[in-house]
Amino acid sequence: MPRSLVSFRANPRARLLRRAWLSVAIALTAGCLHSVAPAHAQAVTAAAEPVSLRIGAGPLGAALEQFARVTGTNISYNAQLIDGLATQGVDGSHGVAAGLRILLAGSGMEAVEQPGGGFLLRKAPLGAGTLPPVTVSAQGETAIGPVYGYAARRSATGTKTDTPLREVPASVQVVPREVMDDQKALSLRDVYENISGVQASGNTLNAQTEVLPIIRGFESPSLMRNGLRATYAGAVDMINIERVEVLKGPASILYGALEPGGIVNYVTKRPQETSSQVFEQQIGSDSFRRTSGDLTGRIDEDGAWLYRLNFARTDSDSFRDEMHLERTAIAPSFLWQPSADTELLLDFSYVKEEQPYDAGIPVDAKGRPLVAKSAFFNDPDLAGRSNEDYYAGYQLAHALSPTWSLRNQFQFHRARNKNETLRPRGISGNNLLMRYQNEDREDDELQFVLDAIGKFSTGPVAHTLLIGAEYIKQETDWLRFRANAPAIPISDHPVVDYTPPANQTFGVDQGETRWKSLYVQDQISLLEAGRLKLLIGGRFDDVTTQARSDGTAAPDVEDRAFTGRGGLLYQLTPRHSAYLSVSQSFKPQQGTTVDVNGDPLDPERGEQYEVGVKSAFLDEQLFVTVAVYQIEKKDVAVFDQALYDATGQSAYFSGVRQQSRGIEFDLAGNLTRQLKVSASYGYVDTEVLANAGDQAQVGRPLPGMSPHTARLWLAYTSDRSGPLGGLGVGGGLRHVGKSTAQADVNLELPAYTVADAGVWYQWSRVRASLNIRNLFDEDYISRASTSAIAHPGAPRTVTAAASISF
């Protein structure tokens, strides 16, 4: 429905009716105005009276709403005239008229003061001194679009609906693209550092490629891409990622079989109507070179078809001897909008990367390196590691009526991994015991999701109802050969010359898993102006697993489970909310995960209780979330090592319970118009509550995660009208407390703190930047699997970049 005249009016009676009622009045005045924030109860301010303003850059419509609330000024305009326009913001003490002129600078609009008070916006006549309009690719922030600044306001990860984050009774954290660009994040690992309670998994052998996180103490076996799972995470490149979102706690009601710690969902860039072509070249330490491009715009004159093309080529050596990375990524997408009610997104990507297998370095019992951090314990002549990731999918959305819509998603995802390497299997005296591995694994996944979303009211109660069905089919083919290899002496410069066995008999593991799921969720708004939010939902999963190992079929396993979720959020004031929630998780065992009698084990289950507070400060420019939680996971499958050592039989037992408790703090947004901040702190206390197979494990922490993690990043960009216009600087600290190895809780790694810094300059269409990670060149071990496989943190690393846009 087209929007006509929008008017923001200050009402002195709002002091009596509270801010929420004024928000409703604004929404009614605007017809179908999207997401009007609650207004301040202020009287109309004289146009010349100075007002303290702090409004950041972003969509012009949202900035005007904030300006009207802060100043109590009537602002009227035709909404169609400002669709897609942006503002550079306004900061400082200004009269209303002067502040509004600054806010509109470069937009192609002007404000005309009205005889009865207030302002009317209209197109500025072209003439001397008139700047061309500054445009953006969206009409305001949405759950799947770009974020303007460091703080996201909306997300779909926590509810599968486009919902303000402040209304979700759960901790959902979003890292926008702007944060990634300012920090020059080159991997998802770099992004995780910004989020409390999230660390990169230590059970890896390639620092530049592995992407799996540990969330609230539990390692996630998969990622989400636009809300669809990638069970076996293949190669991921940052070029087409718009935002990275983390839903803390069990998410099975929305996404099925998962670990109870939470999920990482990365949202990819979508085609935009405004034409843009950005090319960037990066160079840096260790012969790092990266060339990338981001192109978008219309395909036809009417704009019914839009396109986006992201591509990147990365070549880099490493501070680690013999390591070299080659990665190619290309991601085209197309958006078809035949009408205002329908859109179809076609999304594709291909990523290939090759590099030697990095086996890390050995450490002593206190986690201290035994050799130089550059030492390479492998044969560089082996094939190494090759990852290929193919993705094709679509997202279809159609509005059936003003209250009901349908959303259909489909994806095909293939991850291909080839690996020939030597891998340490332990330490004996002054030698590394080695194993030769030659593997070829292919994982295919088909996923189909159909959601119906209804937004309606039953009397005074508002509902956002989600009804969904999901089907997933996963297939795995895994060829593997392993053999013991000669030990390698532990030294700073090991010389390895290994000849693989001539005759290799490959074992074959094959598996197929099918998910059929139904789920329903209702987001209910109660009380005055919807101040009380109730979220309730449930899901039924039917999972069938078939597995075959070396020609022998395991019994088919069929698991059925119901998982639920409930949450309550109360808006104490328009800017401060408190919430509590309970949620459950469900994860079936693999077909080859059987007990000593060959019988399948029960699914793993988890349950979380969480309370938290969400607040907005500085005229809703700074956002804070504090959460306290407890998770218990039961029926955890553990390999029976004692049985295997005694009889050679592979079996598991499931009498294991684990617990994770913690507190998290996340802060993001603007301290001033020029100064932005992203900060987090997480404390997690994990413990094994029961272990039927090994009582010695009871009371020990879960592996791989530090109890204490923290990150602070500040970025200052000078006002473009000042003498240093376009200059920006950033810097911060990363801290990780003492942690344990991923496969050995007895191995403790020392804590470390490193500093990062960056400087950038924006001149017209050109942006240049220089970033330094580990500014003071600290030595540390970032993670470890065992004492034989530990990964040293990168030394001081410098990256220079230059981009140009058209």
| Mean pLDDT score across all residues of the chain | 87
CA 608/CA 249 separation, integer angstroms: 7
For residue 554, what is the enclosing H or E element?
Answer: none
- Smallest CA-to-CA distance from 422 within 412, 431, 430, 414 is with 431
Residue type (1 letter), 382: L
204 and 345 in a single domain? The answer is: no
Closest among 543, 541, 535 to 562, alpha carbons compared: 541
Measured between alpha carbons, how far is 356 from 184 in angstroms, rounded to an integer?
24
Task: Flag whether 149 is in a domain.
Answer: no
Neighbours of 302 (CB within 10 A): 8
Given a cut of 80, whether residue 252 has pLDDT beyond it is yes
Are 244 and 288 found together in one domain?
no
Contact 344, 395 (CB under 8 A): yes
Tell me the CATH number at 287: 2.40.170.20
Residue 740: inside a domain: yes
Distances (CA, A) of 6 to 45, 64, 291, 345, 689: 20, 11, 44, 31, 59
Q: Is residue 355 assigned to a domain?
A: yes
Per-residue pLDDT reduced to its tens digit, 16-66: 333 433 333 333 333 333 333 333 333 334 445 567 676 766 778 878 888
Beta strands 708-717; 652-653: pairing state = unpaired
Q: In CATH, what number is assigned to the domain containing residue 60?
A: 3.55.50.30
List the beta bridge partners of residue 308. 296, 333
Q: What is the mean pLDDT of residues 471-484?
A: 94
- The pLDDT of 419-427, averaged and rounded, is 93
- Is 788 found in the same domain as 736? yes
Amino acid at 643: L
Question: Do 464 and 375 share a structural domain?
Answer: yes
Cα separation of 420 and 436, whole Å?
Answer: 8
Cβ atoms 699, 687 nearer than 8 A: yes
For residue 54, the model assigns a pLDDT of: 67
Work out the pLDDT band at 599, boundaries 50, 70, 90: confident
| Domain CATH code at residue 175 | 2.170.130.10
Within-domain flag for 714: yes
Tally of domains in the chain: 3
Percentage of the chain lying above the pLDDT 90 cut? 64
Q: From CA 586, how far away is CA 562, in angstroms rounded?
A: 8
Cα–Cα distance, 207 to 329 (Å, whole number): 18
Q: For helices 60-71 and 96-104, what crossing angle results, to 10°?
A: 170
Q: Which domain holds residue 199?
A: 154-268
The answer as to whether 768 is a domain residue is yes
pLDDT at 221: 81
Average pLDDT on 107-135 reads 66
**Quick one: DSSP state of residue 135?**
B
Here the contacts of 189-195 (C-beta below 8 Å, separation 24 or greater) are 191/244, 192/264, 193/711, 193/734, 194/678, 194/680, 194/711, 194/713, 195/246, 195/666, 195/680
Mean local confidence (pLDDT), 264-287: 95
Token pair of 319, please?
């501070």
What confidence tens digit (pLDDT) does each residue in 706-760 have?
Answer: 999 999 999 999 876 667 778 999 999 999 999 999 888 889 999 999 999 999 9
What pLDDT, on the 0 to 100 scale, is given for residue 253?
Answer: 95
pLDDT in tens, 301-311: 888 999 999 99
Q: Is residue 140 included in any domain, yes or no?
A: no
Question: Do 181 and 112 reside in the same domain of the chain?
Answer: no
Q: What is the pLDDT of residues 224-246, one digit of tens each?
A: 999 998 866 668 899 999 999 99
| Three-state secondary-structure class, residue 52 | strand
CA atoms within 13 A on the CB side of 428: 7
In a domain, 440, yes or no: yes
Chain segment 138-178, per-residue pLDDT in tens = 335 789 989 988 999 999 999 999 999 999 999 999 999 99
pLDDT score, position 33: 34
726, two tokens: 């376009």
* Residue that finishes a domain, picked among 235, 268, 301: 268
Please state the three-class secondary structure of 428-488 as a single string: ECCEEEEEEEEEEEEEEEEEEEEEEEEEEEECCEEEEEEEEEEEEEEEEEEEEEEEEEEEE
Say if residue 233 is in the same domain as residue 102: no
Averaged pLDDT, 773-793? 94
Torsion angles phi and psi, residue 259, rounded to 5:
-70, 155
CA distance 145 to 279: 21
What distance in Å separates the CA atoms of residue 773 and residue 193, rounded to the nearest whole number?
A: 13
* Separation of CA 266 from chain center: 5
Residues in contact with 338: Cβ distance below 8 Å, sequence separation at least 6, in sequence order: 304
> In terms of pLDDT, which residue wins out, 555 or 544?
544
Closest CA to 559 of 599, 539, 588: 588
Residue 194 pLDDT: 97
Q: Give the residue among 425, 230, 206, 426 at the shortest CA–CA distance from 316.
A: 206
pLDDT of residue 73: 84
Asked if residue 317 and residue 244 are part of one domain, the reply reads no
The answer as to whether 138 is a domain residue is: no
Q: Pick from 742, 621, 595: which is nearest to 676 by CA?
A: 621
56 versus 346: which is more confidently predicted? 346
Comparing 638 with 276, the larger pLDDT belongs to 276
Last residue of a domain, one of 67, 100, 123: 123
**Where a domain ends, among 107, 123, 139?**
123
CA distances from 308 to 304, 347, 405 (A): 14, 9, 25
Q: Are residues 294 and 209 in the same domain?
A: no
Q: Residues 283, 247: one domain? A: no
Rounded to whole angstroms, how far apart are CA atoms 699 and 397?
49
Token pair in block for residue 549: 């190992």
Shared domain check, 632 and 536: yes
Residues 193 and 86 in one domain: no
Residues 49 and 167 in one domain: no
What is the C-alpha to C-alpha distance for residues 445 and 298, in angstroms, rounded to an integer?
A: 32
Rounded CA Rg of the chain = 27
